């Protein structure tokens, strides 16, 4: 596609004609997995610890409300201007025109790149920690585990569509809930014993 051309409408038509295969639970798993990434959760305890209980919890509640409201706004624009928009790029094109489409495409790629780098490092670090727990004298390094995780992601990327990942995303969603519950439990325990 040349820069002077309009975004492909054929892609939009073919995607909306097929219809959705999933349920609201599948959509919730996909959304939760994309929002609650290790890149977002890993630094959260450190960032909020210095705020104290009142300001820290208030910040979490405020962030939750802003995220919820933003999700409602974006979902209300799905049928904007008489068209069904299946991607943010097409929605931006409908609202802002040609440059809206290309600026969203650029920022999505930059955000995706940064998020993927952070996820690779976080996953590699976690895998290495498990490995070192069982093999204290093991010779594998962080780079090995980043490559292992990258190979696993490459395998997952060969699945035909996002609906094929629904069980992986469900597992990720429950893992995120488990991470949050564990963090809350450890925080309450540490508070109770005075750490």
Check whether residue 143 and residue 176 sit in a common domain.
no
Q: Is the dihedral of CA 99, 104, 105, 106 positive or negative?
A: positive
Residues spanned by the domain of 116: 82-158
Provide the pLDDT for residue 1: 46
Residue 10 lies in a domain: no
Check whether residue 125 and residue 90 sit in a common domain.
yes
Torsion, CA 70, CA 73, CA 75, CA 81, rounded to 10? -150
Check whether residue 117 and residue 141 sit in a common domain.
yes
Vertex 134 angle, CA 128 and 139, to 5°: 55
Provide the pLDDT for residue 90: 83
- Low-confidence residues of the chain, pLDDT below 70? 1-22, 24, 26-43, 45, 162-163
Q: Quick: pLDDT tens for 92-137.
A: 888 888 898 899 889 989 988 887 888 888 888 889 999 999 999 9
The pTM of this model reads 0.57
Provide the pLDDT for residue 21: 64
CB distance 90 to 74 below 8 Å: no
Check whether residue 88 and residue 147 sit in a common domain.
yes
Q: How far apart are CA 186 and CA 51, in angstroms?
A: 18
Residue 137 lies in a domain: yes
Provide the pLDDT for residue 39: 57
Check whether residue 91 and residue 113 sit in a common domain.
yes
Q: Total domain count for the chain?
A: 2
Check whether residue 118 and residue 102 sit in a common domain.
yes
Q: How far apart are CA 69 and CA 90, in angstroms?
A: 21
Provide the pLDDT for residue 14: 42
Provide the pLDDT for residue 104: 87
Q: Quick: pLDDT tens for 5-14.
A: 455 554 444 4
Check whether residue 114 and residue 177 sit in a common domain.
no
Residues 6 or more apart from 84 whose CB is under 8 A from it? 12, 16, 78
Residue 22 lies in a domain: no
Residue 39 lies in a domain: no
Check whether residue 144 and residue 171 sit in a common domain.
no
Q: How far apart are CA 130 and CA 147, in angstroms?
A: 16
Residue 193 lies in a domain: yes
Residue 50 lies in a domain: no
Check whether residue 122 and residue 179 sit in a common domain.
no
**Closest residue by Cα to residue 99 from 113, 89, 87:** 89
**Closest residue by Cα to residue 35 from 115, 109, 92:** 115
């Amino acid at each position: 596609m040349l820069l002077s051309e309009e975004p492909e409408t054929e892609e939009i038509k073919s995607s909306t004609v097929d219809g959705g295969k999933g349920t609201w639970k599948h959509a919730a798993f996909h959304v939760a997995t994309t929002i609650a990434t290790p890149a977002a959760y890993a630094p959260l305890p450190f960032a909020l610890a210095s705020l104290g209980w009142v300001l820290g919890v208030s910040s979490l509640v405020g962030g939750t409300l802003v995220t919820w409201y933003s999700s409602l706004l974006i979902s209300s624009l799905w049928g904007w201007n008489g068209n069904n928009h299946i991607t943010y790029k097409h929605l931006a094109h409908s609202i802002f025109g040609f440059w809206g489409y290309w600026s969203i495409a650029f920022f999505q790629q930059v955000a995706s790149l940064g998020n993927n780098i952070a996820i690779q490092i976080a996953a590699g670090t976690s895998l290495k920690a498990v490995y070192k727990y069982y093999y204290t004298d093991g010779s594998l390094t962080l780079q090995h585990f980043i490559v292992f995780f990258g190979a696993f992601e490459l395998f997952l990327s060969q699945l035909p569509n996002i609906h094929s990942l629904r069980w992986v995303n469900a597992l990720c969603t429950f893992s995120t809930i488990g991470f949050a519950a564990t963090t809350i439990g450890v925080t309450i325990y540490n508070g109770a014993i005075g750490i």
